[in-house]
Structure 1
Amino acid sequence: MLRELERIIGERKVNPQPGSYTHRLFESGTNKIAQKVGEEAVEVVVAALGQARAEQIGELADLFYHTLVLMSQLGIGLEDVDNELQRRHASRSPAPPQE
């Protein structure tokens, strides 16, 4: 679903839909989008520390969505992040053998 959401967000960026929340975010600019990601991250932390699982999942979904909007605004795709994670994983030294 993340890749599909990334596609939809990209489509909204190229073909704005009046009244669309995603369109309003893009119109607000990078600073506002980044601020929204920060707000959502705080909400995830608050949910993790005292809310039910359903609220935690909802807040995480909001954070993922807003992060994807910010990534699109910055020209960064899921593939870019995936490549970085793979690079980091590949650069890890193997654990020494245990005796």
Structure 2
Amino acid sequence: MTSPAQNPSNLDSALAHLADVVDQRRDEFKAGDADPKTSYTALLFSKGDDGILKKIGEEATEAVMAAKDARNSNLAPEQQKLLVGEMADLWFHCLIALSQFGLRPEDVVAELNRRLGTSGIEEKAARKAANKE
């Protein structure tokens, strides 16, 4: 697929742009200006929290299955393409969920940045301790 040198340096701005479109479609749906019969994004928003979250579960399962197939095929180009496509579907549906709950990809990027340099094991233990309080 692509090498790091070929990736856009503004990945977060690409996600932000897509999130802007999703938020716009959400607002149009809420205003009655987006028809779930003609807009997939409006259809997702029409299903509410549970429908959106169920779709994320479905997409996550498809991504896992594509990864398993890619592993078994030693990442043949067609399997790489399928895996990337499934991950794109998952990310898109996660953007829908973020929008549904009034959040943005920037919030996720900020949390990832906060965790940089922290052991994953230590970070998980800190979250567990905070949840017990």
**TM-score scaled by length of structure 2:** 0.65
1:82 to 84, 109, 118: 109
SS in 1 for 2:116: helix
Percent pairwise identity: 40
Is 1:30 the counterpart of 2:49? The answer is: yes
For the Cα contact (< 8 Å) 2:16–2:106, is it kept in 1?
A: no
Shift of 1:78: 1.1
Give, in whole Å, the separation in 2 of the partners of 1:33 and 1:10: 14
Shift of 1:69: 0.1
Alignment deviations for residues 19-42 of structure 1 (CA, whole Å, 9 cap, x no partner): 201001101000110010011001
What amino acid is aligned across from residue 46 of structure 2 in structure 1? E
Task: Report runs of 4+ in structure 1 exceeding 3 Å deviation.
Answer: none
Give, in whole Å, the separation in 1 of the partners of 2:85 and 2:107: 25
Where does residue 92 of structure 2 map in the other structure? 65
Alignment deviations for residues 67-88 of structure 1 (CA, whole Å, 9 cap, x no partner): 0001100111111111111211
Give, in whole Å, the separation in 2 of the partners of 1:69 and 1:56: 20
Is 1:56 the counterpart of 2:83? The answer is: yes
Unaligned segments of structure 2, at least 5 residues: 1-13, 71-78, 120-133
- When the two chains are superposed, the root-mean-square deviation of aligned CA atoms in Å is 1.4
Where does residue 2 of structure 1 map in the other structure? 15
SS in 1 for 2:56: helix
Unaligned segments of structure 1, at least 5 residues: 94-99
What amino acid is aligned across from residue 67 of structure 1 in structure 2? C
Shift of 1:5: 1.0
Count of equivalent residues? 92
**TM-score scaled by length of structure 1:** 0.86
SS in 1 for 2:42: helix
